[in-house]
Structure 1
Amino acid sequence: MRFTYALLVCSAVYGLASAQALPEQPADIGYPTPAAALSALRAKPGVVVTERPGWTVAEDKSEKAIWTIAEPGNPAYPAAIKRYLSNEGDGVHLEMKVLCGASKEACDNMVRQFQQLNSNVVNAVQQQRSN
């Protein structure tokens, strides 16, 4: 999980993309479905896959990406979130792409939860830096 923490810390230190609006359309995550993403990630060398209650997390160091995929029973199922670092003119940003096939309410709730997680990391890093 060091990579996960490092990815989030780097995004916090170098600037998190401004709060994202809730997506109205599915994002292109590089796969047609969350199941296809998970299958490809499990087969990709170097990807570390772990299970969490309601989620499967895949760390792809080669793409500096963390994938979080909802499991059956999760209200957002089927859903995949890809968070990755991107370089932009003003620094490094944490980008988030979402493909969610659940109800709009469930998908919006999931996106809000991930936005809050990102915000919590930023706040923790900023507090640490000011001490």
Structure 2
Amino acid sequence: MTRTTDAVLLCLAVFWLSGCASKALAPHPEYGTPQSLLAMLRQNPDVQVQQQEGWTLAIDETHQRIWLFTPPTHAAHPAALKRELVEQEGVLVVRTGVLCGAPQPVCDELLQETERVDEILRGMLPGAE
């Protein structure tokens, strides 16, 4: 990973872990399916696509956005999670979006899984109760 990518990931991680994550918002309809979205992101020279532990990450530093695509073995596959740093009412928050091709209950579980991970990681921060 490049230093810039490391910085973007660190920034998103800090805000993700700091309790600022908002509720999920549906991505724009023009994204189509998770597969077509990934194909579109691969065409964008400003997006770095990489594999980590079976997941595909598409890192868009320009828009402070990371897309995470489920591995084929995941119950929600094909699915994509969008985590982006945005300003809301003068506060930076990480907004989550889900584009999921699985049945709705499985997609809901994917979102709940990210919320549980957020809670666990926030509990690991210094000063967390």
Provide TM-score, normalisation by structure 1: 0.76
Contact 2:58–2:66 (8 Å) recurs in 1: yes
User: Which residue does the alignment assign to 1:76?
Assistant: 76
Write the distance in 2 (CA, Å) between the matches of 1:86 and 1:102.
27
How far the C-alpha of 1:100 sits from its partner, in A, is 0.8
Deviations 1:40-76 (A, max 9, x none): 2112113222213442111110110010112323211
Deviations 1:71-117 (A, max 9, x none): 32321111111110110114001100111111223212211111223
Which runs of 4 or more aligned residues in structure 1 lie more than 6 Å from their structure 2 counterparts after TM superposition?
A: none
SS of 2:74's equivalent?
A: coil
User: Which residue does the alignment assign to 1:55?
Assistant: 55
Contact 1:29–1:97 (8 Å) recurs in 2: no
Write the distance in 1 (CA, Å) between the matches of 2:53 and 2:15.
26
Correspondence 1:4 to 2:9? yes
Structure 2 unaligned runs (5+)?
Answer: none
Question: Residues 105-116 of structure 1: matches in 2 within 5 Å?
Answer: 105-116=105-116
Equivalenced residue count is: 123
The amino acid of 1:102's aligned partner reads A
How far the C-alpha of 1:29 sits from its partner, in A, is 6.5
Provide TM-score, normalisation by structure 2: 0.77
* CA 111–122 in structure 1, closer or farther in 2 if over 3 Å, else same: same
Contact 1:29–1:99 (8 Å) recurs in 2: no
Question: Residues 20-39 of structure 1: matches in 2 within 5 Å?
Answer: 20=23, 27-28=27-28, 30-39=30-39
Write the distance in 2 (CA, Å) between the matches of 1:5 and 1:119.
18
Q: Percent identity?
A: 31
Contact 1:8–1:121 (8 Å) recurs in 2: no
RMSD (CA atoms): 2.5
Contact 1:9–1:122 (8 Å) recurs in 2: no
User: Which residue does the alignment assign to 1:16?
Assistant: 20
Write the distance in 1 (CA, Å) between the matches of 2:54 and 2:109.
15
Write the distance in 1 (CA, Å) between the matches of 2:84 and 2:29.
11
Write the distance in 2 (CA, Å) between the matches of 1:35 and 1:119.
29
